[in-house]
Structures are given as structure tokens and as C-alpha cells.
């Protein structure tokens, strides 16, 4: 598997995302996956809020509005808000001020819908048949320092590879083993694109093993199959031990 990151011009709110992609990437090979950071996706769709006061209280109010569910900031020794947004457990619901000026950058409103739009446009522009698209973000992992990539939305390939029913090396049947292809690609691409001043918000992953490309966008059922409810999750004892508050997005 190979991953190549691409530089773009500095992206501003309400820029044309497709034009940034077309300008940065001369060609996309067949059977590739284009990964796009949620930051430039959100900027281009205008998902930003002007910073008025720049206080923690102001940002906390924005996070509460943007989150599906959240814990209040005083629950954290770092005065941060643990949130659930787009079915991702993360800090501050993706509300971020890095690499932008004068605004809070949010997450894309509909990552899956956006992935479908980009997928269709790229297939037509680059005249390719088999293509994947992933909208990426960064998240942290409990009990470990450092951030990794995560997939907010995808299109063009099967996101879960199931190995249930297969045999392990000792001939025992696998009961629960699945591999999240979209998440795996997001992690590789995010590492290659960087997290600071690299200005590389696009990455193409090629020679992806065990990927199955699709000729149609993922169905609602396929997307829902990626998600686990808090009660059914293996981490339910932790997730259910706190009282989540419903955020502005959770009420919609």
C-alpha cells in the first residue's frame, strides 16, 4: 500500500473544494482512494463560526451546540468537553481553531453526503471507474498519547471486511473478527498528511490490499451497519457510567 499527500493553496471559507482538488492533483489512478481532511471540507462548505470573544466559555457554547452528546467541561481536568459527533467519540466535537484565522472551524454537516458528491465529481473529471473517497478527521485514543486519523464518511468501497466464519492459524472459527477499511485508510492518510503546518489536506492511497470497490454510494443500511449503540458497545460499562447531555445536533 502506498500513500501520497498533496499540497494545496491555503483554503478559505466558501472556497470551491473541487477546484482545490483538481489544481493539486493532476491525475488519480484507477483503484485509488482519495482522503480529504474534514478541515478543508468544512471550510469550503462554510461550516465556520466567527470568533467574537475568544473565551473558553464561548468555545464551550459552540461545542455544546455542535455535539450530538457531550459531557460538561468541568468533568475534565483539562477543561475540555468529551463529545459524540458523527458517531465518533472525540474532544470538542471537532470544533477547532488550528490553521484558520478568526473562526471556529466545525466538522462537515453531512460527511457521507459530501463524500458521495466528491466521488461522483472526481470519477467524471478524472475519467476513472473504481475510486474511493474518505473524509478524515483526527481523534485521540483512550490511555495513549497522540492523535490518529478517523473516517467521518466514505464512498466507493466496502467499509467493513468481515472474517467471521473463517479459520485462524489453528483452524478455529472466527466469531467476531471484522476489519474497518475506512478507518484504516483514514489513519494511514492522516499520518501522511500531517497535523501541523504541512498544508497537505489531500492524500491518495493506492495498492490497497483486500479492498472491494463499489459502483454505487453506500446505502443507509450499509452506513448504519458501521455503528454500534452505546448500550451494545464493548465499552458500554464506561460509556454508560456517565450522564451524557444532549447537544444541539442531537436534538435535531
The C-alpha atoms of residue 122 and residue 117 are separated, in whole angstroms, by: 9
Whether 41 and 59 map to the same domain: the answer is: no
Residues of the domain holding 155: 1-46+107-218
Asked if residue 66 has pLDDT above 80, the reply is: yes
CATH number at residue 24: 3.30.1330.100
Backbone angles phi, psi at 115, to 5 degrees: -60, -40
Residue 23 is assigned to a structural domain of this protein: yes
So what's the pLDDT on residue 251? 80
Asked if residue 52 has pLDDT above 70, the reply is: yes
In this prediction, residues 171-194 reach a mean pLDDT of 94
212 pLDDT band (50/70/90 cuts)? Answer: very high
In this prediction, residues 232-237 reach a mean pLDDT of 94
Residue 223 has which C-alpha cell? Answer: 452506513
Residue 180 is assigned to a structural domain of this protein: yes
Q: Which of 47, 209, 224, 56 is nearest to 137 (CA)?
A: 47
So what's the pLDDT on residue 195? 86
Backbone angles phi, psi at 203, to 5 degrees: -150, 140
In this prediction, residues 100-108 reach a mean pLDDT of 93
CB 34 within 8 A of CB 28: yes
Top-confidence residue, 64 or 250: 64
Whether 115 and 148 map to the same domain: the answer is: yes
In this prediction, residues 185-213 reach a mean pLDDT of 95
Whether 34 and 139 map to the same domain: the answer is: yes
Q: What is the mean pLDDT of the chain?
A: 95
So what's the pLDDT on residue 252? 64
Number of structural domains the chain divides into: 2
Residue 159 is assigned to a structural domain of this protein: yes
Whether 12 and 76 map to the same domain: the answer is: no
Whether 128 and 172 map to the same domain: the answer is: yes
Whether 118 and 99 map to the same domain: the answer is: no
Provide the whole-model pTM: 0.94
Residue 145 is assigned to a structural domain of this protein: yes
Whether 63 and 121 map to the same domain: the answer is: no
Identify the H or E element spanning 186. helix 181-193
Residue 118 is assigned to a structural domain of this protein: yes
The C-alpha atoms of residue 10 and residue 214 are separated, in whole angstroms, by: 32
**Which class for 136: exposed (0-12), middle (13-18), buried (19 or more C-beta within 10 A)?**
buried
Whether 10 and 39 map to the same domain: the answer is: yes
Other beta carbons within 10 Å of 248 = 16
The C-alpha atoms of residue 131 and residue 123 are separated, in whole angstroms, by: 7
Quick: pLDDT tens for 11-26.
Answer: 999 999 999 999 999 9
Whether 142 and 245 map to the same domain: the answer is: no
Asked if residue 82 has pLDDT above 80, the reply is: yes
Whether 86 and 132 map to the same domain: the answer is: no
**Sequence-ordered list of residues with C-beta below 8 angstroms from that of 152, at least 6 positions apart, any chain:** 38, 86, 88, 107, 108, 111, 135, 136, 137
Residue 196 has which C-alpha cell? Answer: 501541523
Residue 223 is assigned to a structural domain of this protein: no
Within 87-212, strands assigned E span: 88-91, 103-105, 131-141, 144-155, 160-162, 178-180, 202-206
So what's the pLDDT on residue 196? 82
223 pLDDT band (50/70/90 cuts)? Answer: very high
Whether 116 and 236 map to the same domain: the answer is: no
Residue 163 is assigned to a structural domain of this protein: yes
Whether 147 and 101 map to the same domain: the answer is: no
In this prediction, residues 219-228 reach a mean pLDDT of 94
The C-alpha atoms of residue 58 and residue 35 are separated, in whole angstroms, by: 31
Amino acid at each position: 500500500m502506498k500513500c501520497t499527500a498533496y499540497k494545496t493553496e491555503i483554503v478559505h471559507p466558501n472556497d470551491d473544494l473541487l477546484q482545490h482538488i483538481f489544481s493539486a492533483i493532476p491525475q488519480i489512478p484507477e483503484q485509488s482512494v482519495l482522503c480529504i481532511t474534514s478541515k478543508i471540507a468544512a471550510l469550503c462548505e462554510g461550516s465556520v463560526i466567527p470568533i467574537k470573544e475568544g473565551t473558553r466559555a464561548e468555545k464551550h457554547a459552540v461545542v455544546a451546540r455542535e455535539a450530538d452528546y457531550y459531557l460538561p467541561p468541568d468533568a475534565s481536568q483539562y477543561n475540555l468537553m468529551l463529545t459524540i459527533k458523527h458517531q465518533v467519540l472525540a474532544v470538542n466535537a471537532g470544533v477547532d481553531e488550528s490553521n484558520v484565522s478568526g473562526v471556529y472551524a466545525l466538522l462537515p454537516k453531512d460527511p457521507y453526503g459530501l463524500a458521495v458528491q466528491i466521488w461522483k465529481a472526481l470519477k467524471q473529471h478524472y475519467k476513472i471507474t473504481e475510486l474511493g473517497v474518505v473524509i478524515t478527521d483526527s481523534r485521540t485514543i483512550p490511555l495513549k498519547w497522540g492523535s490518529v486519523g478517523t473516517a467521518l464518511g466514505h464512498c466507493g468501497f466496502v467499509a467493513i471486511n468481515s472474517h467471521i466464519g473463517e479459520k485462524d492459524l489453528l483452524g478455529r472459527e472466527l466469531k467476531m473478527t471484522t476489519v474497518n477499511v475506512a478507518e484504516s485508510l483514514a489513519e494511514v492518510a492522516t499520518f501522511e498528511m500531517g497535523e501541523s503546518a504541512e498544508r497537505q489536506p489531500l492524500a491518495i492511497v493506492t495498492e490497497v490490499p483486500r479492498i472491494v470497490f463499489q459502483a454505487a454510494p453506500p446505502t443507509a443500511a450499509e452506513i448504519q451497519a458501521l455503528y454500534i449503540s452505546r448500550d451494545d458497545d464493548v465499552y458500554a460499562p464506561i460509556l454508560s457510567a456517565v450522564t451524557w447531555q444532549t447537544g444541539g445536533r442531537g436534538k435535531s
